[in-house]
């Protein structure tokens, strides 16, 4: 898993000096990283403060404070109270079970 990171970073920066217009035709002229067509599957993990309440999706903050989702507000107010701001979850996000080597093994075995 660690060997993928340099290639990914190189792929993200390889077109850094190129100029693109804000339209699809221009963006589609960008080169793809060499490894892109050779890979069979990718895994994207999105893990952050939204994992603390573990309700809905990673858009918990937006559902709570932006869209004011009825379901999210009801859950949040019942579980944490109406005066508990989203930012208060940050110190609770400890990532104590973060083990990238174990995850890489699971993905490899899958």
DSSP state string for the chain: -TTHHHHHHHHHHTTTT----SSHHHHTTSPPPTTTTT---------SGGGTTT-S-TTHHIIIIIS--HHHHHHHHHHT-TT--GGGGGGG---TT--HHHHHHHHHH-
The answer to whether the CB of 61 falls within 8 A of the CB of 50 is yes
Q: Is the pLDDT of residue 56 over 90?
A: yes
pLDDT score, position 1: 46
Q: Is the pLDDT of residue 76 over 90?
A: yes
For the residues 25-35, what does the mean pLDDT come to?
88
For the residues 54-79, what does the mean pLDDT come to?
96
Q: Is the pLDDT of residue 7 over 70?
A: no
């Amino acid at each position: 898993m660690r060997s993928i990171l340099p290639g990914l970073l190189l792929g993200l920066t390889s077109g850094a000096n190129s100029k693109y217009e804000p339209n699809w035709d221009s963006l589609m002229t960008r080169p793809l990283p060499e490894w892109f067509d050779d890979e069979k599957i990718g895994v994207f993990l999105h893990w952050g403060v939204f994992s603390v309440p573990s309700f809905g999706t990673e858009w918990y903050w937006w559902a709570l404070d932006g869209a004011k989702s009825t379901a999210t507000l009801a859950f949040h107010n019942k579980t944490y109270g109406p005066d508990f701001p989203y930012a208060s979850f940050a110190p609770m996000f400890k990532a104590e079970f973060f083990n990238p080597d174990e995850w890489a093994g699971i993905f490899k075995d899958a």
